[in-house]
Amino acid sequence: MREQKTQTSPVLMKLAVAASGVLAIAAGGLFYYVSVNKPQNHDEELIKIEVGAKACNPMNLTLPSGNHSFEIHNLSDRPVEWEILDGVMVVEERENIIPRMKAILRAQLMPGDYQITCGLLSNPRGSLTVTPSEHSANANAAKPETRAFIGILSEYKVFLIMQANSMLRAADTLQKAISQGDLETARLGYVQARAAYNRTEMIASRFADLSAKIDPAAAYLENREQDKAFTGFPRIEYGLWDQNSTAGLDNFAKQLIDDLNGLKDRLKSVKLTPDLVLRHASSFLQQQADGPILNGTDSYAGLDATEFAAQAESIEKIFKLFEPLSINPAGAQTAALKAALNEYSTEIAAVSAGNTSVDYKNIDPDTRRKLADKATKLAETIDHLSAALGLNE
């Protein structure tokens, strides 16, 4: 039976729509708060960091080496990321902390002089001095023999370099299509180059200087899309999808090729250790769960599901390399990781429903939350395997 139509007051309709919008925003804010503020250990001491519009409070920290938990409060009116940097290398980071919210970052720090970022990429950096302690002495003494991992690490580096070659070939296609004004071919080249970059991103994103040129989010720049530091993949994505044009992108595409060549050189020379690879894999997945998976990362093209799938391929490569060496000393943890990886990959496929070009902006919050939970579970199983192999200290 067809429903009987009733007339509704335009004023009431507007109020209903407004109310539903408020509820959606409130629900999203609540879920964000819960997702990035996981229950802490009863005796966990939190180090409070306040990130304002122009600086952090405090700007300078001195801590003993060991495990530390930072509670980062965003007091500005923009989303922020907070990073601990060792030169150009990102040690740990927490991204996409929305205004007036907080997030917890846990880091194992060894002695050294570090920098901390404070909101916008153009803001001054603070300092973090980590002094020697009993923890660092014990950690150095407990490091496992790494000769058994040499083959694994060499093969993973080959994988990274092969992906770098793929991204450069696709970036060349992208640049040529842009110069010819061929929008569709340029979009295809972008997607291929971006996917290859995503397969290296777990390591590539640790090069803070290159990452700021290859993958700068407009939200972290003072003038957003109009900022002169808005370059690399996001700038080209903005032109191809938001502006539906190749106009003005040629120089950005050429610069991207130069920066990707620089990234390839870094990937060739980066020193990989088994603990670093597993720690970065876990940390990267948790960052994805806390930010991009919940809120989206491709602001213009909406191809997030494709990016998550490429990142998962990199995690799968690591697992397959470690599995023959980990199966005997850590059989249960290896099996758990394999199962969690399968669950995460299956969930990504379900999100896209076989359509790799699905617009992530149309994916509902419950589906995003479910995918984020799978990513968190996978990160935790990587930590458990690392501990079982004696790589955590």
Domains and CATH numbers, the chain: 46-134 (2.60.40.420), 148-388 (1.20.1420.20)
The CA R_g of the chain, rounded to the nearest whole Å, is 22
DSSP class per residue in 238-285? IIIIIS---TT-HHHHHHHHHHHHHHHHHHHH----HHHHHHHHHHHH
- In the three-class reduction of DSSP (H, G, I as helix; E, B as strand; rest coil), residue 106 is classed as strand
pLDDT tens over the chain, length 393 residues: 333 333 444 433 343 434 334 333 333 443 344 344 454 555 679 999 999 999 999 999 999 998 899 999 999 998 888 999 999 889 888 888 889 999 888 888 889 999 999 988 889 999 999 999 876 555 554 445 567 788 999 999 999 999 999 999 999 999 999 999 999 999 999 999 999 999 999 999 999 999 999 999 999 999 999 999 999 999 999 999 999 999 999 999 999 999 999 999 999 999 999 988 999 999 999 989 988 999 888 789 999 999 999 999 999 999 999 999 899 889 999 999 999 999 999 999 998 776 767 889 899 999 999 999 999 999 999 999 999 988 875
User: Which is it for strands 66-74 and 46-51: parallel, antiparallel or unpaired?
Assistant: parallel
Give the separation between CA 171 and CA 96, rounded to whole angstroms: 27
Answer yes or no: are the C-beta atoms of 46 and 69 closer than 8 Å: yes
Q: State how far the Cα of 294 lies from the Cα of 315, in Å rounded to an integer.
A: 20
